[in-house]
Amino acid sequence: MAEQTDEYAVVVGATGTLGGAIARRLTKRGLRVVAVGRDREKLARLAGESELVVPCRADIATDEAIDTINGAIGGPVRMAVMCAGLPVRGSALTIETGGLATAANIKVDGLVRLLRAVEHGLGQDSRLVVITGFLAAEPTAHEAAPGAINAAVHNLVRQIAELLGPRGTTVHAVSPGPVDTERIRTIGRRIAEERGITLEEAMDEYRKGSSLGELVTVDQVAWAATILLDAEARALHGSTLAVSGGRLKGIF
């Protein structure tokens, strides 16, 4: 456990598997973490794990989240993490009409809302981190929203890097491959149903996408996000950290 500081971190999506893991690691680095999510009970459980967690019930898909998050911050912002998940699933043939717009409101507009909520607290050596996904560079037929929307997020990350760089704040994307969570199994079940295969066959296809034959773990993604606190991470400003286990073949 690092010595506690007066600095804050903000994690949007803290009640999710990845966001929760990142929040826990950030408290171990001594930061007071504003945990942003919609589920009051999950926020309370997370806050019960550490006195450094500040529960903040807000929906990043709405503009009201800006003031709510801003009001929960009581000091300089060392790191802000956008880790909201997408509820929209399906290929271009099966995704609900308007699904891409819904996804863009959460991930793209949501990133803008987070930026505006924390902007006053960002300064020299602050970090703005966005968890994206490898489908932005390696699209598949089955996931229209994660591919298209995360590609837009990568573009926005580079724009924001140009805006914040002069004040010494660095901006980063962390792009995992499929992560070993219940969520990926839910997606695998849907793909299995669409293609007439078993869930295990669908999961094996995910694993075979990596030359290691394995999925990325939650702890690996959380580690990648939190090492960006290190001073050396300034060299990664405006770039994407691929945490794909060798799955990524394209170039961001």
Do 142 and 153 fall within a single domain?
A: yes
At residue 157, the 3 state secondary structure works out as: helix
Give the torsion sign (CA, 185, 189, 195, 196). Answer: positive
pLDDT at 241: 92
Half-sphere exposure of 14 (CA within 13 A, CB side): 33
pLDDT less than 50: residues of the chain: none
Do 43 and 159 fall within a single domain?
A: yes
pLDDT at 1: 58
pLDDT at 89: 78
Do 120 and 204 fall within a single domain?
A: no
Task: Give a yes or no: residue 248 inside a domain.
Answer: no
Q: What is the pTM of this model?
A: 0.89
Do 138 and 18 fall within a single domain?
A: yes
pLDDT at 2: 64
Do 163 and 210 fall within a single domain?
A: no
Q: What angle do CA 18, 202, 17 make, to 5 degrees?
A: 10
pLDDT at 17: 92
Q: What angle do CA 156, 13, 28 make, to 5 degrees?
A: 105
* CATH number of the CATH domain containing 132: 3.40.50.720
How far apart CA 176 and CA 136 sit, in angstroms, is 11
The residue type of 190 is: R
Task: Give a yes or no: residue 252 inside a domain.
Answer: no
Task: Give a yes or no: residue 185 inside a domain.
Answer: yes
What total number of domains does the chain contain? Answer: 2
Task: Give a yes or no: residue 189 inside a domain.
Answer: yes
CB-based contacts of 183, cutoff 8 Å, min separation 6: 17, 85
Give the torsion sign (CA, 71, 72, 78, 83). Answer: negative
Q: Which domain holds residue 187?
A: 180-215
Do 13 and 98 fall within a single domain?
A: yes
How far apart CA 230 and CA 172 sit, in angstroms, is 13
pLDDT at 57: 98
pLDDT at 134: 80
How far apart CA 171 and CA 169 sit, in angstroms, is 7
Do 101 and 23 fall within a single domain?
A: yes
Do 191 and 152 fall within a single domain?
A: no
Q: What is the DSSP string of 74-117?
A: -S-EEEEEE---------TTTSPTTHHHHHHHHHHHHHHHHHHH
Do 147 and 204 fall within a single domain?
A: no
Do 132 and 87 fall within a single domain?
A: yes
Do 83 and 204 fall within a single domain?
A: no
Do 100 and 198 fall within a single domain?
A: no
